[in-house]
Structure 1
Amino acid sequence: MTAEEIISAQGDPALPTQPTHLLDLLKTAASSDACLLFLEDGSNGPATKLPYAQLYEKALQQVSTLRASGLVEKGQVALTYFDNHYDNVVWFWSVVAAGGIGAILSPLSHEPKTASGQLENVKNLFGDAPLITSAKLAPLFAGQGLQVKTIDDIKQTTPKAEPSPVSDVLPISELDSIAAILFTSGSTGHSKAVQYSHKALLASVKAKADHLDSRGRTFMSWVSFDHSANFCEVHLQSMYVCSDQVLTPAAELMAEPYHFFSILSAYKVGYTFTPNFFLAAATKSLRDKLANLEISLDLSHLRTIMCAGESNRTQTLADCDELMRRFGAPSYAIRAAYGLSETCSACFYNLESPQYDLGNPFASAGKHLPGVMEMKLVQDDSEETDRGVVYLRGDVILSGYYNNLDATAACMTDDGWFNTGDIGRVDENGSLHLLGRSKEILILHGNNYSSFELEYAIETSNIAGLTVSYTAVFSTWDESQQSEAVVVLFNPSEEAIGRKRQADTLQAIHRVVFNFCSQRALHVIPLPKALLPKSTIGKLSRSKLKKQYEAGAFDDYWFDEKDSHVQGEGIKESVTKTLDEVTPLEREIATVYAAVVGLPAEALLTDDALLSSGINSIGFLKVKRTLEKNLDMDHEIPMATLVQCHSVSDLAAELIKSGTTSAEYDPIVPLVKKGTKQPIFLLHPGAGEFLCWFNLLEYLPDRRLYAVRCKGLHSGEETFTSLQHQLDTYYAAIRRTQPEGPYLLLGYCLGGLLAFELAKMFEANGLEVAFCGGIDNPPDIRRSLGHEKYRSVLSDFLPALTGMSPEEAQDFTKSTAYMEDPEFYEAIYGKFPPAVIQENGGLTIQRIKAYGKVEDWHRAIAAKYEAQGKVRSLDIFKANALPLFDVSGLGSWDAVMEQWCTLAESPRIHKVQGNHYTVLKKPDIEVLQERINEALDARGV
């Protein structure tokens, strides 16, 4: 049914003149011509247009499915978690239309311990509430005990009943009931879930629209949908005034901040949001562009850039204001503001920024929204004053924290005043100036982090040289970042005595900070216990220590961090390699990082060099985008991977695990670089990739391990011209990696054939091959690669890969027989569960197609191949035959594999557990690795 049909069937009442709950808000917007524009492909890419009328229709159409699947009932919480604006918007409103409460989860932390804490917190708060996400993101929640449902699962659910009338979703008498939930301090494990009532959200957007004259303005947001500045300030307000809104991903703007102004110009934006640090970056980025290019912008439609989320540097606002006026922006377009998630985003606005505060280092927040809020400042003695903790009360204040009565009671007085935890003063004109925080929170680049949790992460990381319980963390203004930065004070133990040991301790602390908040600490300072006094209950006073630090009391204790190589300048002195001595992938990574951080690429080849490079959050996004483009990746690099890899080699190893290699073809992929035993070269199966070997690495200790990767898997990369071309290429690459023998070769499936042929080449040239092994590969490779096309094998493996019954797999094969390969690959990809996608390095449709191209080429080679000649020794690891393997003429798979005995002077056949598909997976790999290690020992290697 269309939206009109559903509304008609329900006897839709007249549109309300004033929305009374969120579905009314959407319905009102749907009656206009306004729409959402999603720039998910970046600021220069095409926009996906979604009129509010279509959003309303999509939401209503999902009601039957959500109700029939039992996921959403009236008044029930449903969590949503997506990495793009479109899905966030559509599925939040679908939950609302079904009568549920949409709880929009914040992005998970890049630090594993913190991410685990976040998920545990979600489970504790919401129990069995459904969590709606994509198939790509579902693996993040595996094993957490959450009721995860992918949108593909939901879409396949057959509706059992028509939806209840919209009028029954939320009666008007329940305006104080919960409408939505966002989260505070999204990067900490103990985030609180902020409950918004329909009344509070609607009061907020009406007050903002009236106060800031936002009617008729196009809105734009680039921060994530879970952020209150997007959800409350932009998304809901634009719907209230029935205006267009543009939603663009943060990565594009972070990588090229000047695009912020390009979007404001191109879409005639009148209302947007940014924190201070990004406004500074965007201003600098545009100035740099203007120095070399003539850029035309029209900012005449701009009325409000709400600047909040952290302290606002007056000079930053003034610099941006001056630049924007050159392109037609009016005066006072930048509005320094103040608010919290608990206050529906901003609730104070300075309507005279930046001129009002010229001469002051930081901008004031102005006055609060009229009619919906009142403020008082309270000292410790609870007396009102013109300087103290900021308390707020009114219609836009949260209704409480979900399932957390203690947290609600701690911040709310009996008469409805909300303790913000911020300290401020009011000037003679009634404008609020923020002076600091009484809460233990770090605000870094607009994101909130817990001081307590960072201290906990540091003290539980087993750092040598750190005295537990004497660690204090706080933030201070960093002029170079135009934001706050972390300072860590700690007491060094005896293990940190000596310059080298103390440097190691500092570096270890920097690693933890870097992993926790994606930026290195401004300073890590070792102090004697006398300067870290504890209270009578054993606590350090962060506020007192911060005042002492900013007064210069600890300057004499600063460690010379350049000597410890924890700053970009310091790492220049530690160059030990050249770009010619690393792999093409490592060379590409170093070159990209060097361009972003402004250091020589060679300086980034040492351990921890990426941590030491001085990279920040904007730099990370530039590196991410450039690597994905340069490496022609068909999947994203997780930000957690970038943050947690502190060296070029670490990042290269992680990218290799996801199936990524450099554009410059190199057959050799280093998997383990250290070891005293002879190295092993691992030859790939028919699909050409090396990911199958990762499960085996832990069972081959103290060895360098090199995978050999086939040509043709990278975009634009052709396959080999012949088997001999392939063998010659591999032979040369192995000799380059290990100039002298003895050589150890191990192949899987087709890789066993390659190992056998390469061993013949080495021995023909007088070189020793001490070990030549093959896993489940017959000498007549056609018996296991017997199908004409790779897609036939994929269909054969469907039961093992997906849990489908053989009959279901046969039906799928029949139903897709007419499809061309590209369409077939998309169809079969849709059958793979998240676990299969994850264990194959983030499998994508593009990679399946690449595997198909390479495997079909190998099948053509196998069709003509006959094993001939002999090698000195051969070890074959024989698994149980799959039904599709050909044993004609010999009667059994054992007899097929015994044919190897005629092709080696010293052949050995080893029986292993499992079949061709399972032999390299647990539990079957346990038996395989025992046999391989026994065979290696028997050959003396």
Structure 2
Amino acid sequence: MGQVEVPTVGFAYAEEKTTPSPTIPSNLPRVLLQAADRYPLHDLSFANPTARDLSYRSRTFSAFNQDVRKLAYAISQWAKPQGSIIVVYLTEHEDNMAAIWTCLLAGLVPCLQPALSAQQVHQHGHVAHIQRLFSPVTWLTNDFGAEQLSSIDGLEIRLFSELSALAESARVPADWVVHDAQPDDEAILYLTSGSTGFCKAVVHTHRTILAACYAKGRSYGLTSKSNVLNWVGFDHVAGSLEMHMAPLLFGASQLHVHASAILSDPICFLRLVDEKSIHLAFAPNFLLAKLTHDLEKDSDMCGRFDLSSIKRINSGGEAVVTKTAQAFTMVLKKLARDPSRVSFVLCPGFGMTETCAGCIYDRVDVPRHRSVHEFLGLGRPIDSCEMRIVDPDDGITVCHDGESGELQVRGPMLFTRYYNNPDATSSSFVDGGWFRTGDIGIIEDGELRLNGRIKDTLIVHGISYGIPELETHLQTVEGVAHSFLAAAPYRAPNQETESFLVFYSPSFDLYDAEASHKLLVTHRELGDISVKMITLAPRHIVPIPINEMEKSTLGKLSRSRLLALFNQGELTAHIAHAEKLLSAARQAAFAVPSTDSEKALATIYSRIFNVGSGEVSANDNLFELGGTSIDIIRLKHEAEAYFRLAEIPLIQILKHPVISDLARIVDSIRNRRNHEQEYDPIVPLQMTGKKTPIFFVHPAIGEVLVFVNLAKYFHNERPFYALRARGFEPGQPVFNSMGEMVACYVAAIKRTQPAGPYAIAGYSSGGIVAFEITRSLEALGDEVKFIGLVNIPPHIADHMREVDWTSGMLKLPHYLGLISKDDAHQLAPTLRLMPREKQLKAVWKLSPPERLAELRLTPAKLNHWVSIVSSFIEVCKGYHPSGTVSAIDVFYAIPPTGSRADWLNSELKPWSAFSRHAPTYTEVPGQHYTLMDSDHVPQFQKIFRGCLEVRGL
């Protein structure tokens, strides 16, 4: 078998030298053959995290090798020339893995395509760029991908399912290949994030990938007895190379799971480590922080997991905060069955698509680590990789030890070029083969620390966003002088993730009489746009007079210079003047609470938002201050206690979030003037903006608090109305039929917005109500331009036949976070044998007291709420959709049960029969019950708002 020579220069760990080394084949197809020959029974496993028992599908190396060679034979029938590019656009790890090897064995070059933008204009622009870059090119995708691409003319689209069907009858030897590749042949193309415009395609050869995999495996201590856990997508080099091909080279077994499962349920991460005896895993800083936050208060999990197998957790994508790493290890100690047997080794690393992912690592034994720095260091390069720090201005003058400068790396794992982009390639390298990473760092005693970036990207919770694109949108704000705005990455001390600063020159005089009001409006809009685009507001917004904003000879603002001025305190005067103006603007709009009720509510608001009571205005709005669903419940409880009222209806707080308005409601209740009011389902969660309002129907729980976080993202864009079920207030009857509910909701929508076009949406079971509302509005002659159905199939009655009061008793507590999904499954058979009162007691006993207190629940309130849920379930039991609407946008997440693919194809695709135009099916992060929570709503809102824009709203 041919071999590739792998240089061994640079730094290396002592432990690497004792790790048995595999034979290094001359190309990637021979890696697969070697693994199948030497370790035929080792596993490639794929987890189904939606199953209650965490089921797995496994394929041995031998079986996988045979299967992909049959697929390679099938794809060879396409008669594509050797080296043709195939854009692989698939969602599941197993399909992506098979497609990559299929192309490699057939002499084709796979290009891994990440998820396309939900915004059609961006999607079409990207696809057009890919077509120009690779022309000609073939897309290999699934039904979902084909549907996304169907509106674009001129594409050659092939389905992976059809290729698989064609391969079933193939008979090929276990070592069959179409073409025996040479080491320097193109192997795999990876697309960069496109943060500075359209993406670049990074070319990796068989030689570069093999060199990287060999060096990584040695660094990680991989052997044929290792078990590796991966959740990173295969379109990322870390997923396909670092966590698949490198382990395969060393014969290590692998477990692959969808990222959303790990991110939505941190317990899943630990269960997988426990059940599959994982040795190597990956967790970036944001996941370490999330795991710590979600698990540190979970006393029920103490000592539950065998974590003795884990030897190393790699971390990359963003800097690892030292305190976060330390807190994470404390949580692991608490949850481990035997903490003394757990290796608390965290390995922060640096890598890029151009370096085949991680190429520099530190091996940190966190409990023993005593760092004086806020972030963990990055250590030394892996075998055959070198690094240096140079003067960023000339790119060649090497800095002394401890001096800051640009990080450059070189080694055999470096990419060869950017496809069809010689200018970008040449500008990325300097003499001697050194690659310019664009990051600022320091090397001390041979170890690397990063402290900034040159490139135009911002990383928020591990996701890269393009600064130029953000700047383009921020430039549209009326108070910004044209071309005088720059955004720069910034990380404040003790900040968990990277943030950013905005520097700009106002288009108005900062010393004008109207300056304070204009500045307040400008800063609010800059913040709104930032949150909508990258889910984060600027850490600081710094207005600088235009005569002091220097540009280069090319007419550009220097982000690095502005950032340096900020860090050195040179902009303090501008910041202080802006704060003075903003404070004056706030004071001008400030209304001192005057009545006793206003003063009392202002005090409660101040406690909730941790500000001085004198800083709260009678005009302050709970939602505009950032109030969450939990804040609303806290306000209700504290106000009831202060005013000695048995009940302040939640709907009154939702409809009157401004202190002065809520004070009048409270006074009315205290004076017994608040007799039963006519039921109105409309709850205005956000009232600003001139675009078409959105009406969102409640899920089965009937309440609308689930939409509070989502509504904030529409601030100053469009009103956001939620529809709340009937029956929550004393004396209100529940709905007895779908027709009664829909007629009530349509009338309320027409009172709120008399004429279309309308935008209607529904979450979970609320989706079928949204569908029926749309039918009714269209029957009245109104135009509905958008109907968004979130994770709900049309034939819901099929799922409701066996649902009873007990199901409602379990559904609501699970939705509220009182019991887990496993608890619900295990309780169901026992509860059905109990009377209603005992069912309630059993669930109440399992519920965490702190969560019950947070929700201000009592057994009576929970019982009443379950009755509302059960009534809604009864209404849905008899529901069968009919007729059609103009067009439907379906959003799908991990389903309550079963696989995502089955959920999409078998349950959701039937909506096509009820839409006069082809529906869209868009994947959103999270699980059915978590997609609206604070972890997932930032991404959900971007996708959702993008679909509204596509519909012309």
TM-score, length of structure 1 as denominator length: 0.62
Partner Cα distance (2:618, 2:323) in 1: 36
Distance 1:178 1:338, change over 3 A: same
Matched to 2:259, the amino acid is: A
- Contact kept? 2:247, 2:253, Cα under 8 Å: yes
2:280 aligns with 271
2:727 aligns with none
Matched to 1:24, the amino acid is: R
1:476 aligns with 490
**DSSP 3-state at the match of 1:96:** helix
**DSSP 3-state at the match of 1:288:** coil
Partner Cα distance (1:598, 1:93) in 2: 58
Cα RMSD over matched residues? 5.4
Matched to 1:439, the amino acid is: K
**DSSP 3-state at the match of 2:464:** strand
Q: Look at both structures and tell me which one has the larger radius of gyration over its CA atoms.
A: 1
- Residues 869-912 of structure 1: per-residue CA shift (max 9 Å, x gap): xxxxxxxxxxxxxxxxxxxxxxxxxxxxxxxxxxxxxxxxxxxx
2:291 pairs with 1:282: yes
2:809 aligns with none
Distance 1:525 1:447, change over 3 A: same
**DSSP 3-state at the match of 1:396:** coil
Matched to 2:138, the amino acid is: P
**DSSP 3-state at the match of 1:488:** strand
* Equivalent residue for 2:31, pick from 20, 25, 33: 25
2:184 aligns with 176
2:95 aligns with 87
Equivalent residue runs for 1:98-109 within 5 Å: 98-109=106-117
Matched to 2:32, the amino acid is: L
- Residues 488-522 of structure 1: per-residue CA shift (max 9 Å, x gap): 22333349956555444334333432333233333
Alpha-carbon distance, 1:697 to partner:
10
- Residues 186-227 of structure 1: per-residue CA shift (max 9 Å, x gap): 566422211111111111111122222122221112222212
Matched to 2:332, the amino acid is: M
2:493 pairs with 1:485: no
Equivalent residue runs for 1:205-604 within 5 Å: 205-215=213-223, 216-290=225-299, 293-325=301-333, 327=336, 328=339, 330-331=342-343, 333-354=345-366, 355=368, 358-370=371-383, 372-379=384-391, 380-381=393-394, 382-386=396-400, 387=403, 388-413=405-430, 415-428=432-445, 430-459=446-475, 462-478=476-492, 482-494=496-508, 497=514, 501-552=518-569, 553-554=571-572, 555-556=575-576, 557-558=578-579, 559=582, 569=609, 602=654
**DSSP 3-state at the match of 1:282:** helix
- Residues 432-465 of structure 1: per-residue CA shift (max 9 Å, x gap): 1212222222122222222222212333xx4332
Alpha-carbon distance, 1:711 to partner:
11
2:742 pairs with 1:667: yes
Alpha-carbon distance, 1:180 to partner:
0.9
- Contact kept? 2:774, 2:787, Cα under 8 Å: no
Alpha-carbon distance, 1:609 to partner:
8.7
Partner Cα distance (2:518, 2:254) in 1: 54
Partner Cα distance (1:92, 1:162) in 2: 20
Alpha-carbon distance, 1:308 to partner:
1.5
Partner Cα distance (2:227, 2:330) in 1: 22
**DSSP 3-state at the match of 1:37:** strand
Alpha-carbon distance, 1:96 to partner:
2.2
Partner Cα distance (1:663, 1:21) in 2: 67
Distance 1:704 1:79, change over 3 A: closer
Matched to 2:89, the amino acid is: Y
Alpha-carbon distance, 1:540 to partner:
1.0
- Residues 373-407 of structure 1: per-residue CA shift (max 9 Å, x gap): 22232223422223422222211111111121111
**DSSP 3-state at the match of 2:347:** strand
Equivalent residue runs for 1:860-875 within 5 Å: none
Distance 1:350 1:667, change over 3 A: same
Partner Cα distance (2:189, 2:757) in 1: 55
Matched to 2:530, the amino acid is: V
1:754 aligns with none
- Contact kept? 1:366, 1:431, Cα under 8 Å: yes
Equivalent residue runs for 1:860-899 within 5 Å: none
- Contact kept? 1:265, 1:298, Cα under 8 Å: yes
- Residues 816-864 of structure 1: per-residue CA shift (max 9 Å, x gap): xxxxxxx9x98999999999797346499xxxxxxxxxxxxxxxxxxxx
Partner Cα distance (2:800, 2:909) in 1: 26
Equivalent residue runs for 1:819-830 within 5 Å: none
- Contact kept? 1:317, 1:353, Cα under 8 Å: no
- Contact kept? 2:685, 2:721, Cα under 8 Å: no
Identity across the alignment (%): 21
Alpha-carbon distance, 1:478 to partner:
4.9
Matched to 1:366, the amino acid is: G
Alpha-carbon distance, 1:26 to partner:
2.2
Matched to 2:527, the amino acid is: H
TM-score, length of structure 2 as denominator length: 0.61
**DSSP 3-state at the match of 1:251:** helix
- Residues 628-676 of structure 1: per-residue CA shift (max 9 Å, x gap): 99799xxxx9xx9999756999777999xxxxxx999632455777545
Partner Cα distance (1:521, 1:111) in 2: 24
- Contact kept? 1:667, 1:711, Cα under 8 Å: no
* Equivalent residue for 1:134, pick from 131, 142, 149: 142
Distance 1:452 1:420, change over 3 A: same
1:892 aligns with none
- Residues 736-765 of structure 1: per-residue CA shift (max 9 Å, x gap): xxxxxxxxxxxxxxxxxxxxxxxxxxxxxx
Matched to 2:183, the amino acid is: L
Partner Cα distance (2:787, 2:379) in 1: 63
Matched to 1:667, the amino acid is: V
Distance 1:320 1:156, change over 3 A: closer
The unaligned stretches of length 5 or more in structure 2 are: 1-21, 591-605, 638-649, 659-682, 690-695, 725-734, 761-767, 803-879, 888-901, 924-953
Partner Cα distance (1:245, 1:833) in 2: 38
Partner Cα distance (1:834, 1:456) in 2: 41
Equivalent residue runs for 1:41-60 within 5 Å: 41-42=49-50, 45-60=54-69
- Contact kept? 1:68, 1:159, Cα under 8 Å: no
Matched to 1:346, the amino acid is: G
- Residues 674-714 of structure 1: per-residue CA shift (max 9 Å, x gap): 545699999xxx9994487599699847999999x999856
Partner Cα distance (2:421, 2:780) in 1: 44
Alpha-carbon distance, 1:368 to partner:
0.4
Alpha-carbon distance, 1:344 to partner:
0.9
Distance 1:536 1:688, change over 3 A: closer
**DSSP 3-state at the match of 1:300:** coil
1:755 aligns with none
